[in-house]
């Protein structure tokens, strides 16, 4: 067990190191920052002095080391567009994104779990067909387009919901739905098939023979076991959520990190973007690590040989 955790933590650190190297290398490709900083009439001496000031005259490994040590201290340099430290831009938006993400997850659970269970229990009925349709659409509709069509319907035609920004609960309705539906489709499909597998189990037959009520068989005996394969994909769902958040926040002008990703694409603001990618990577890698370790506790068969 301990050996497994140590190995897994080691792998996560290696993954993060490789990623930071890729980001650093891409940063060098993205253009020479000195050119952006220098005034037009600058002499070669000022350029060299500025280069020395930012440490850009040093060899790459030393520059990379500086990049890493600064990053550990939350110093990611200044934004190209606003000339302010990157962390000042990111800080206030974290909570907005977390709130939207949480609302999206609630929607995912509300749609995904009951429909997944229903589709399995009422297999090959109208419910199963409906759930399948929702899943197919969820995987085929481009999220950003769904957002725009919802605005068209609920803001422009019906004038019920606000199209952009944050505020009361009505502001959450469309973005959270758009965000949550995609993952709900995936959760539902997986839950349906793992419920069907679990319903075939011998212990379910036993429970039926014992005369347990159907709701107990479904929720207590089947659902609990069927949930395990779904939880395995928690890391993948998180990745889908983050991708979705970028698109959804862009469509609904939500002042969060996803919108900041979009702004930094438009302004080619590499320092902001690299910081966001690095932060998200840390979150993703940590969550995956936590899921794997929790899993190893639940299932003692998972070990490194």
Partner 1 sequence: MATTTTTLARRPALRERSRQAAESLRRAPLIPMVIIFIVVFTAVFAPLLTPHSTTQPSLADRLTPPVWQEGGTWEHPLGTDALGRDLATRLMYGGRVSMMVAIFTLAIGGGIGTAIGLVSGYFGGRIDAVFMRSADSTLAFPIILFAILLVVAVGPNITNVVIAIALVLWARYARVIRGEVLALRERDFIARARVSGCSHMRIVLFHLFPNTVNTLLVLLTLQVGWVIIVEASLSFLGAGIPPPTPAWGSMVSNGREYVDTAWWVSAIPGIAIMLTVVAFNLFGDWLRDTLDPKLRQV
Q: Measure the CA–CA gap between 304 and 285, rounded to whole angstroms.
A: 19
β-sheet bridge partners, residue 85: 78
Answer for which of 29, 35, 83, 211 binds partner 1 (CB under 8 A) is 29
The answer to whether 26 contacts partner 1 (rule: CB under 8 A) is: yes
Nearer to partner 1, 52 or 68 (CB): 68
* Backbone torsions φ then ψ of 57, nearest 5 degrees: -90, -5
Distance separating alpha carbons of residues 255 and 304, to the nearest angstrom: 43
Q: Of 158, 114, 20, which is closest to residue 76 (Cα–Cα)?
A: 20
Question: In the complex, what is the shortest distance from the CB of residue 142 to partner 1, in angstroms, rounded to a whole number?
Answer: 5
Contact range with partner 1 by CB under 8 A, out of 48-56, 115-123, 206-214, 260-268: 260-268
Whole-angstrom distance, CA of residue 175 vs CA of residue 258 = 12
Please identify which residue in 85, 162, 235, 255 interacts with partner 1, judged by CB under 8 A.
235
Q: Which of 173, 284, 293, 296 is in the footprint of partner 1 by CB under 8 A?
A: 284
- Locate 121 and state its tokens: 């229990």
CA–CA distance, 278 with 99 (Å, rounded to integer): 21
Q: Give the whole-angstrom CA distance, residue 302 versus residue 293.
A: 10
Check residue 262 for interaction with partner 1 (CB under 8 A): yes
290 binds partner 1 (CB under 8 A): no
> Binding residues for partner 1, per CB under 8 A?
11, 15, 23, 26-27, 29-30, 136-137, 139-145, 148-149, 151-152, 156, 186, 189-190, 193, 233, 235-236, 238-240, 242-243, 246-247, 250-251, 261-262, 264-266, 268, 270, 273-274, 276-277, 280-281, 284-285, 288
């Amino acid at each position: 067990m301990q050996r497994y955790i140590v190995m897994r933590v080691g792998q996560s650190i290696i993954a993060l190191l490789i990623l930071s190297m890729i980001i650093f290398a891409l940063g060098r490709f993205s253009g020479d920052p000195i050119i952006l900083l220098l005034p037009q009439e600058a002499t070669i001496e000022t350029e060299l002095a500025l280069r020395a000031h930012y440490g850009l005259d040093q060899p790459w490994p030393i520059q990379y080391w500086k990049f890493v040590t600064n990053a550990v201290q939350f110093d990611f340099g200044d934004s190209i567009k606003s000339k302010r430290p990157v962390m000042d831009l990111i800080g206030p938006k974290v909570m907005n994104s977390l709130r939207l993400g949480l609302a999206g997850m609630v929607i995912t659970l509300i749609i995904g779990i009951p429909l997944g269970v229903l589709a399995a229990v009422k297999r090959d009925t109208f419910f199963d067909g409906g759930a399948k349709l929702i899943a197919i659409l969820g995987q085929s509709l481009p999220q950003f387009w769904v957002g725009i069509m919802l605005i068209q319907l609920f803001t422009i035609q019906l004038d019920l919901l606000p199209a952009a920004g944050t505020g009361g609960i009505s502001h959450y309705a469309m973005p959270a739905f758009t965000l949550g539906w995609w993952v709900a489709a995936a959760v539902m499909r997986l839950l349906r098939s793992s419920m069907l597998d679990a319903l075939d189990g011998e212990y379910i037959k036993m429970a039926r023979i014992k005369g347990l009520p159907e709701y107990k068989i479904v929720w207590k005996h089947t659902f609990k076991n069927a949930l395990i394969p779904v939880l395995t994909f928690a890391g993948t769902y998180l990745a889908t959520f983050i991708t979705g958040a970028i698109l959804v926040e862009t469509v609904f002008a939500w002042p969060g990190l996803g919108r900041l990703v979009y702004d930094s694409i438009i302004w080619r603001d590499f320092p902001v973007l690299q910081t966001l990618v690095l932060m998200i990577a840390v979150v993703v890698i940590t969550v995956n690590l936590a899921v794997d370790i929790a899993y190893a506790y639940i299932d003692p068969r998972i070990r490194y040989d």
